């Protein structure tokens, strides 16, 4: 079995806070509630974090102190509302000046946070759920893992987990990080999509062999493999991202794991296809590993 190193275990016990950026939107609220449930499950703390915007820097006219900004009031209201539902939590609030995408990444380098949980923009009017939003920038720059929660997602379950694989050592690190921060994995699907049909048996054997490495990680109960080619005869399945999206929808995973080396692939996955003018959307939590 592969166990957590002493450094990883010490890191886990020393740092206890989840950073939760918020803009006080509905989708940010879904992410905050998800983070709180996770904090209760893992005995962690929460820091609600806001970077002032044009809307949130107006003075609060109802407050006697004219220097109090709207965001300062809202974030305390959010904290109180969350504590009503999660009374055992320790929740800190912080409001600062600056752009979220510029302020948060340096904060993740300070060693104060285990990971970031944040909401993503909606998928309406052809917009991507993750990419094109603040979340995409923070995912690409953060020094700690980022758990992105789709707008409106209210499910809290971790039984059915998926990870795309290209047989890279970083995947072992991602799984170890996920188990360290989130918890054990009852069932893991390793997904590999390939283009060259002539290599089918070779790829299947490689995936089977690689899965033995994954099974050696302590904290994973069951490992299954999914190996599928693109279908050039199907306009809906003739690219790797489309096949991946089809598998994710078909299997209804609780959470998707993305390694550092696969983030660029996921960026392409969520962009509209130039030729088909379609947008593929991921509608479940995604754990982007950045360690």
CA atoms of 148 and 31, how far apart (whole Å)? 8
CB-based contact 243:230 (threshold 8 Å): yes
Give the helix, strand, coil percentages of the chain, each rounded to 5.
40, 20, 40
Which of 11-20, 87-96, 178-187, 259-268 is the least confident region?
Answer: 259-268
Which of 13-27, 182-196, 207-221 is the least confident region?
Answer: 13-27
CB neighbour list of residue 279: distance below 8 Å, 6 or more residues apart: 123, 126, 127, 128, 270, 271, 272, 273
In tens, the pLDDT along 127-157 reads 444 444 677 788 888 899 999 898 888 899 9
CA atoms of 276 and 272, how far apart (whole Å)? 8
Q: Which residue has the higher pLDDT, 137 or 273?
A: 137
pLDDT band (50, 70, 90) for residue 62: low
CA atoms of 69 and 4, how far apart (whole Å)? 45
HSE-CB of 235 using CA atoms within 13 angstroms? 5
Residue-averaged pLDDT of the chain: 81
Q: How many percent of the chain have pLDDT more than 70?
A: 77
pLDDT of the residue at 75: 95
- What does pTM read for this prediction? 0.82
Q: Which residue has the higher pLDDT, 288 or 291?
A: 288
In tens, the pLDDT along 81-101 reads 999 999 999 999 999 998 888
Q: Which residue has the higher pLDDT, 273 or 190?
A: 190
Query: All domains of the chain, ordered by start, with CATH?
Result: 6-149 (3.40.50.620), 160-284 (3.40.50)
């Amino acid at each position: 079995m592969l166990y957590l190193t002493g450094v990883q275990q010490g890191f886990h016990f020393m740092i206890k806070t989840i950073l939760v950026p918020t803009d006080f939107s509905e989708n940010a609220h879904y992410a905050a509630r998800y983070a709180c449930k996770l904090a209760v499950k893992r005995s962690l703390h929460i820091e609600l974090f806001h970077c002032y915007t044009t809307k949130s820097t107006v003075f609060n006219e109802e407050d006697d102190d004219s220097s109090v900004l709207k965001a300062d009031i809202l974030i305390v209201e959010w904290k109180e509302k969350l504590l009503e539902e999660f009374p055992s939590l320790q929740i800190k609030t912080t409001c600062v000046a600056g752009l979220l995408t510029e302020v948060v990444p340096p904060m993740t380098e300070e060693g104060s946070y285990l990971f970031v949980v944040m909401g993503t923009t909606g998928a309406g009017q052809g917009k991507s759920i993750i990419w094109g939003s603040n979340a995409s920038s923070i995912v690409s720059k953060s020094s700690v893992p980022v758990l992105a929660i789709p707008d409106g997602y209210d499910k809290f379950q971790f039984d059915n987990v998926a990870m795309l694989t290209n047989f890279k050592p970083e995947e072992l690190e991602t799984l170890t990080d996920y188990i360290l921060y989130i918890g054990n994995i009852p069932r893991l699907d390793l997904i590999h999509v390939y283009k060259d049909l002539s290599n089918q048996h070779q790829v299947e054997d490689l995936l089977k062999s690689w899965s033995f490495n994954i099974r050696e990680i302590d904290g994973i109960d069951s490992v299954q493999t999914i190996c599928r080619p693109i279908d050039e005869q199907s306009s809906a399945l003739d690219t790797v991202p489309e096949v991946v999206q089809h598998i994710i929808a078909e299997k209804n995973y609780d959470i998707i794991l993305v390694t550092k080396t696969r983030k660029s692939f996921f960026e392409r996955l969520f962009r509209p296809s130039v030729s088909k003018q379609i947008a593929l959307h991921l509608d479940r939590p995604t754990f982007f590993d950045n360690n």
